[in-house]
Amino acid sequence: MTQTRSARPWYRRMTGRRRDEPHRTSTPLELFFDLCFVVAVAQAADNLHHALSEGHIGLAAGHYFMVFFAIWWAWMNFTWFASAYDTDDDVYRITTLVEIAGALILASGVPRAFTEGDFATITFGYVVMRLATIVHWSRAAAGDPAHRPAALRYAGGVFVVQLGWLLRLMLPDSWQIAAFLVLVIAELLVPALAERPGMTPWHPRHIVERYGLFTLIVLGEVVLVTSVAIQTGIDAGEHQLWSLAAAGTVIVFALWWLYFDRPVEMPDQLRQALFWGYGHYLIFASVAAVGAGLAVEVDHESDNPHISQLTAGYAVAMPVAVYVMTLWALHVRRRQHRWLTATFLATAALVLLTPLGPAPAHFVAVLLFCLVVVTVLVRRLSTAPESTAPDAAAGPAGVHG
């Protein structure tokens, strides 16, 4: 029987949840966690837009990927932990709210990171989030003897890496990038090493749902950024932006369709599961960057002197191409369908060529529309024998459309 909020004890042992638990869905706390993290995503995308519009392309891309790593990694670690050990007691809730507070601190430091290269506030917010994660894993180690080695490796690994992030702030500027890359590798290695004694009881279908929901939230951020940018241009008398608005709408719709075209299946093996989970960094980052790119296109159409057509075109084409390639690697490749693979790869290549011609965003929209059409046709053809074959038990009524 499900306990009510008033009947739930303030503290529970973290014994781990079952990997085959039926009806495992996202909790209100997880959804609230996602919504708060979107503040940081919005800050990253908005500052990427402004940096690109001012012509700081290389610096903008570097800062964006560094900031987005902090956002994505903290979100991902909480997501996998909650899938395995969500007790929903008061201690768990308070610890999670501390993580959310860290995300808000991180978000407040994003503008300074882009404009001044100062990552101190982002680092402090990130460390707050990760220290709360150590509390989670320490509780899991105490309450789940079967997975105690994994939980202790998580807690110890996270603690050591956080010391590294704080020490990085004291290094000279010439060492900052190298130190960042080393610490990123260290962060990525913690789950890979921690899970080896025996995988923690994360729920595959729950993880798939959580990733899908965050994809939806980031897509919603793209819609918001694009609509605000176009509204600003139209209010300034730039009525030619209506066609760009249509192209942007088709792009966002296509990104959604391609991700959710079929039910997503997550691999059970640790190596493949980590590849799938880590690969979504490019999914989330590229989707948010599409919104920034469309805003840059609006600036270009509004005669911003700092933006060339080539820059504006690649601001949209590059993240779209990354999205298509990553989606192929994570979802489509496993279907082993030659024509679908060829179409995805060809679409990514053609998208990268669109900035060399006129109206690149419009051509990107056309290419994505064609990719959606091919994806739908392949799906229908691959399921046609099952869907058109009569059901012997059901008779004529067993035919499905």
Q: pTM of whole model > 0.75? A: yes
**Cα dihedral across residues 223, 51, 327, 80: positive or negative:** negative
Contact 129, 74 (CB under 8 A): yes
First to last CA, the chain: 39
Neighbours of 233 (CB within 10 A): 22
Q: Helix or strand or coil: residue 263?
A: coil
CA 39 distance to own-chain centroid: 13
Rounded (10°) CA dihedral 284, 215, 30, 201: -80
Q: With a cut of 70, list the residues of the chain below it in pLDDT.
A: 1-12, 236-239, 304-305, 336, 384-401
Predicted local confidence at residue 114, as pLDDT? 87
**How many Å apart are CA 366 and CA 363, to the nearest integer?**
5
CB contact set of 336 (below 8 Å; sequence gap of 6+): none
Domains in the chain, please, with CATH? 28-201 (no CATH), 205-384 (1.20.1410)
Closest CA to 382 of 267, 276, 262: 262
**Residue 7: its pLDDT value, please?**
54
Residues 6+ apart with CB under 8 A from 390: 396, 398, 399
Res 191: pLDDT: 92
The reported pLDDT for the residue numbered 3 is 44
pLDDT one-digit tens code per residue, 217-267 = 999 888 887 777 777 777 766 667 788 888 888 999 999 999 998 887 777
